[in-house]
Structure formats: structure tokens, C-alpha cells
Structure 1
Amino acid sequence: MATTVGSLEAGGGPRSGRMWKLLLALLALLPDVFAGADSKAVTTTLTTKWPSTPLLLEASEFLAEENQDKFWDFVEANQHIENDEHDGTDLSYYGLIQKRAQPLLSPVQLNLLKFALSLRAYSSTVHSFQQIASNEPPPAGCTAFFNVHGKKSCNTEHLSDLLDTVPKPYLFKGDHKFPSTNPEAPVVILYAEMGTDEFSRLHQLMVSKANEGLIVYVLRHFVANPSKNKVYLSGYGVELAIKNQEYKAKDDTQVQGGGETNATLVGERDGVDEVQGFLFGKLRTMYPELKEQLRELRKHLVESTNEMAPLKVWQMQDLSFQTAARILAAPAADALTVMRI
């Protein structure tokens, strides 16, 4: 083939040579094209309706669930993040968060934090604060602001004028309240994004006032410029059913060609192959001479199982515990197979 191509190139000139090279390149791509055509896999992703939330704020909510003291320690350590501490990529930002959280968490808790961030488990919590802030729009020109009983400002000079005796606002269960020496002091709610310059400026003022007993300091997350990206959801089961529109008049209950039904064949190669309490995998190993009889018995049990007798109410209770008990009762080597069944 190489000789033929070479002779054709010599006889056909440069244009002919280029054509043959192009043809060979296309032939090399054919396996990839056919492989793509044969693939019927469908990939789906789920996203939230709300914008992606900063991982730093999600990490703070993880620590708040562990301990409020750890939350405020994390806030102090991350009230301002310099640009030179990470290169601007998501990976370096993620690494910085782990580094800042490590002194406050055990190795096991740190692994749980990584898992929670990968699942975006606290994104909805952060967004709930954003929704609260949306009902109290910030003053013009403010990327972070404080609210003193309905009076909003980002000018620190106005804080003293706002600290008059007024009714306390309603606080939510998830609000982050700074430890205060005077619980009866006026409540000041700070809406800001941790790690920004504006947050650092206002946070330091609130902490000093709270330590003096002049205010009760409450922090709520607020992102002035939300991301345009959505949060990709993990851990959700999705079924994508593709319906065949070509209907065929055929009785699927009839066995064709002397073969067995699909339900009978399912699981025969499993090591456990349990049907109604009978472990046919072990029975075939112990009694190989009864292979055909065991096959018939298994077929009968599978077909009787498919009748789907109505379940009692108590049979539907605590299904997770029933499943766990069944898996634990199986031999250790067969536990994964039983769990799959």
C-alpha cells in the first residue's frame, strides 16, 4: 500500500499527494467517528436556580454547624484575603480555604469539609442569607452595609447616630450572633461578603462595639456581585427515560425459541444469586449434578415473584433499616452483591 501511494504521488504531482494524505487522515479518524455513533450514553447535569455562591462562605457555614466559636475564629482569619494569596483560579482558592480551616478542624472534620464543598451542601444556606438581603436592598454605592433596626448605611460615622433605643428586629435561627457582653444592646446586622476589604473595615468596627457592650453584632452573608454561573447539584438521582415510538404487537410474556425469560437469566452469574431466600449461587456450587433442577426451581421462584403481591403497611416501614439488616446479614464477601440487588 505504501508503494502504491508513493507511486501515485510521484505520478500525480503535489496535489495528488496531498489528496492521499488527506484520505489517510480521514481513514484514521473513522474509528473515532463510529465509536461516537455507537455510543448511546446520555449525560445530564442538574443546576440550581440561584447563582453559584463563594466557597469561603460555604466553608464558614460548615464551621458554624460545628461550633459558633469556630465560625467566628474562621471569620477573623478570613476577614480579608489578599490577591497574592492565590492565583485567582478555583483550585488555588479551594486550597486556601482548606489551609485557613485546617487549624480549626480535626483531620476527619477537614475531610468532611472537603466533601461538603464538593457537594455544595451549604450553598443553599448561603443563598438564604442573600434572599434576606434582597428584601433590604443596600444603600446606593454600598457593596456591604449594616442595618440598625431598619436604618441602613455603609458609613461608619452614622453608626453612633443610629444606636438609639428602638425595638429589636426579628432574628432567624441561622443568624450568626457575635458573643456580646450586653444582650440588651441595640442589634446591628452586617450584610457583607467575607474576605473583601469592605467586610474587613466594617467587621472590625462591629467587633469593637460588641466588645464594649454597645451593640449586639449579627452577621449575614451578602454577595454584592453574584456569579453568573449556577451551582451543579450532586447526589441527586435522575432517571432519563427514552421512549421507543415504534410499537410492536407482541406478547412479551411468551418464551421464544425455547429460551428463558430475561428475569430468569438475571443474576445467574452472581456469586449469591438470591431468590426468595435461596442462594442459588452456592447451591449450584454444592450440587453441580442438580444444575437443571435448580434452574427450574429458580425459574419458578422468579416467575412467582413477578406476580407482585400487594405489600402490607408494616412491610413498607423502615425500608432503610430492612435493607441495612439484609446487607449486614450477608457474608462479608457477598455484601456488595446483596446491596446491588
Structure 2
Amino acid sequence: MAPAKATNVVRLLLGSTALWLSQLSAGTVAASKSVTAHLAAKWPETPLLLEASEFMAEESNEKFWQFLETVQELAIYKQTESDYSYYNLILKKAGQFLDNLHINLLKFAFSIRAYSPAIQMFQQIAADEPPPDGCNAFVVIHKKHTCKINEIKKLLKKAASRTRPYLFKGDHKFPTNKENLPVVILYAEMGTRTFSAFHKVLSEKAQNEEILYVLRHYIQKPSSRKMYLSGYGVELAIKSTEYKALDDTQVKTVTNTTVEDETETNEVQGFLFGKLKEIYSDLRDNLTAFQKYLTESNKQMTPLKVWELQDLSFQAASQIMSTPVYDAIKLMKDISQNFPIKARSLTRIAVNQHMREEIKENQKYIPEFLPR
């Protein structure tokens, strides 16, 4: 019996330990709740190769075209390589024209997708053309479209008679000495074979000063993946829906005491309630109720007669001047911020004649010091 009892005790202890560990684990998971927020753009993910080219273009137009020459068909490797290998391949190609500092800047630009909006801008421009159906790449020659290389020569013949296209600041123009040439805009995805075929023909014509060659990014089949952004300010507001019980009587008492302290020394419609409460301390509650009534009635904005407005500024100044110094600023702030409500009570204040004359005298000299 003893061994059996010992075995049962051990099993009980092991079971209790397992239960305790499971509860501890559950408590840890529950205590370590986290919220992860992702910010996705309205456009799909853009190729890193095109973003790298925009980084190069920001460095210089020459570096852009040099980089382009080395990556004409680089997108082919994307189908066989992993995303990380393709990423490193782009950095390796860019490293031929950038120092280590700029390579690090390029990595940072990749991480925050800084040049993705520029790619999407070109994509939107291409959509407005619109692109011919079923074309991986196409050219626009003075309002005429084609996705066939052998038709370029034909469209160039009468290009001068058609309207010259508008070029944007961000357009990539092939280096040439002449600007007054027929403009050929290529919409294609850099790194593809179709792009390489068009580029070979157009760059040769541009070097011979036959055309002004302009490249705009165009992706025929955009990625199905979302474009997640980072490095942007995002605010996630989480509202607590927990209800807390408070003693309303204590809250009201504190509020009433605060209001009473603030308004005790104030004059309301000619009544100095601070003085009245000192003289008639036994009627303090009644005076407070009457004061609140008058204060609330003051908040009703009733129209004033024209003659009541004549001395309103003097009456406001008179009330402020008659208030103790330590309360004058507070009263002036209250009147200026709540003037429409306070106007009715101000009309009942008698203006000191000496103060009126002094203000009028000062007003004669103030314009001399104002800038003209």
C-alpha cells in the first residue's frame, strides 16, 4: 500500500505542477498582448529595380542611364532567384556607380519604399494614355501609340506635324545635345526583354540625334501584393470601454465648492455676493442659489439697443479697473472671451467720468505711435 500511495502522491504533485505551469503560461500570454498595425498604400507593390533607378536619377541623369544599361534584362532573374537574392543583385549592380554611403542610403530608401510613389506616378500617367491592349511596352510619338518596334520609323515621318507632348520634370530624358527633335516616349518596365528590345532601337536613334528619347515606367501586370509602407506617422487610438464607479455626491460637492470660490468675489448684476455672504452668513445657501440664478440669466444673449452699445467699452474698462489687482487680469480674460454673454451685465455699470476723459485723451495720441 505504501508504494501505491507514494505513486499516487507523486502523480498528484505532477498533475498540480502541470496545471500551475499551464495557468502561468496562459497568464503570461494574456498579459503580453500587443497590437500590430500595418499601413498599406492604395497602389500595389512596386518593383525594387524601378525604385533603385529612381534613386539613381536623383543622383544624376547620367547615373540613371548608366545603371539602366547594366540592368536591361535583370528582371529575368526575379523568376528564378529568391526575393533576398534579387535584392542583393540589385544592390550589387547599383554598387558599380555608388559608394558605400550611398548604398546604405539606397537600402534605407528600399526599407521605407521612398520611391514607390514615383513609380506609381508614372503608372498613372501611362494609364491616362491609355496603353494599347496586350502590350508589355509601348511608345507614344506625338499622340500616336504603338507597341511594335517596326512601326516607329513610320510614325516618326509625320511626327513634326502633330502636337508635341508635354514633358514632366521627373521624366527621364536620354542625354542629347539637341532638344528640338521628335519626342518618343517609351512606357516599359526596366529589366524586361521587351524593354531591352525597345531601348536598343531608341537609344541608337537618340545617339544619332534623330529623336528625343524619354523613358517612363510602366508595369503591364502589377503585383498582387499590397504596398506596405513604413516610416510614416500613424496614430492608433485605442479607447477604453471600462466603466468606473464614482460617488456623484462628492463630485458635485467639489464642483460646487470650486464654482462658489471662483464667483464669491465677483459682482453679478450689481450684487456683491462676497460682501453679502460675509454680512449675512446665515443666508449663505440662499445667496449662493440666487447668485447661480443671476449668473445663468446673464448667459442669455438678448439683443441690445443702439444707445446701450455706446459706452460698452468704457463700462467694460470701468469694471476691470474697479476690481482688485490680483483679479483684474482674470476678469479681463473672462470679459474678452465671453463678451456676447457679458455685454448685458456691462450695460448696468456706471462709468467713472474721470476715467472716460483720460481714455479719450489717450486715444488722441495712440494713432501717432501706430505704424502706417
TM-score range, shorter chain: 0.5 to 0.7
Q: Bigger shift: 91-100 or 26-35?
A: 26-35
Q: Measure, in 2, the Cα distance between the counterparts of 1:202 and 1:172.
A: 21
Distance 1:84 1:45, change over 3 A: closer
Distance 1:182 1:238, change over 3 A: closer
Q: Partner of 2:70 in structure 1?
A: 77
Q: Partner of 1:14 in structure 2?
A: none
AA in 2 matched with 1:214: E
SS for the counterpart of 2:74 is: coil
TM-score, with structure 1 as normaliser: 0.64
Q: Measure, in 2, the Cα distance between the counterparts of 1:75 and 1:105.
A: 14
- In the TM superposition, residue 83 of structure 1 has moved relative to its aligned partner by 4.0
Distance 1:147 1:237, change over 3 A: same
Q: Tell me if structure 1 keeps the 8 A contact 2:77–2:86.
A: no
Q: Tell me if structure 2 keeps the 8 A contact 1:52–1:231.
A: yes
Q: Tell me if structure 1 keeps the 8 A contact 2:76–2:191.
A: no
Query: 1:156-167 counterparts in 2 under 5 A?
Result: 156-163=149-156, 164=158, 165=160, 166-167=162-163
- In the TM superposition, residue 31 of structure 1 has moved relative to its aligned partner by 4.0
TM-score, with structure 2 as normaliser: 0.59
SS for the counterpart of 1:48 is: strand
Q: Tell me if structure 2 keeps the 8 A contact 1:80–1:195.
A: yes
**Percent identity over the alignment?**
48
* Aligned with 1:187 (options 168, 183, 190): 183
Question: Is 2:107 the partner of 1:114?
Answer: yes
Question: Is 2:168 the partner of 1:172?
Answer: yes
Q: Tell me if structure 1 keeps the 8 A contact 2:142–2:164.
A: yes
- In the TM superposition, residue 23 of structure 1 has moved relative to its aligned partner by 10
Question: Is 2:187 the partner of 1:196?
Answer: no
- In the TM superposition, residue 233 of structure 1 has moved relative to its aligned partner by 1.4
Q: Partner of 2:343 in structure 1?
A: none
Q: Partner of 1:324 in structure 2?
A: none
Distance 1:39 1:161, change over 3 A: same
SS for the counterpart of 2:42 is: strand
Q: Measure, in 1, the Cα distance between the counterparts of 2:26 and 2:170.
A: 54
Q: Tell me if structure 1 keeps the 8 A contact 2:44–2:223.
A: yes
Distance 1:247 1:29, change over 3 A: closer
- What is the number of residues matched between the two proteins? 241
SS for the counterpart of 1:109 is: helix
- In the TM superposition, residue 79 of structure 1 has moved relative to its aligned partner by 0.9
- In the TM superposition, residue 101 of structure 1 has moved relative to its aligned partner by 0.2
Q: Measure, in 2, the Cα distance between the counterparts of 1:231 and 1:42.
A: 20
Question: Is 2:226 the partner of 1:230?
Answer: yes
Q: Partner of 2:83 in structure 1?
A: 90
Q: Partner of 1:319 in structure 2?
A: none
- In the TM superposition, residue 24 of structure 1 has moved relative to its aligned partner by 9.0
SS for the counterpart of 1:74 is: helix
Distance 1:26 1:101, change over 3 A: farther
AA in 1 matched with 2:201: L
Q: Measure, in 1, the Cα distance between the counterparts of 2:27 and 2:49.
A: 45
Q: Measure, in 2, the Cα distance between the counterparts of 1:22 and 1:198.
A: 69
Question: Is 2:42 the partner of 1:46?
Answer: no
Question: Is 2:246 the partner of 1:249?
Answer: yes
Query: 1:80-159 counterparts in 2 under 5 A?
Result: 80-81=73-74, 83=76, 87-159=80-152
Q: Tell me if structure 1 keeps the 8 A contact 2:122–2:217.
A: yes
User: Which ranges of structure 2 fall in alignment gaps of 5 or more residues?
Assistant: 255-332, 334-372
Q: Tell me if structure 1 keeps the 8 A contact 2:143–2:163.
A: no
Higher helix share: 2
- In the TM superposition, residue 107 of structure 1 has moved relative to its aligned partner by 1.1
AA in 2 matched with 1:167: T
Structure number with greater Rg is 2
Distance 1:57 1:6, change over 3 A: farther
Q: Partner of 1:67 in structure 2?
A: 60
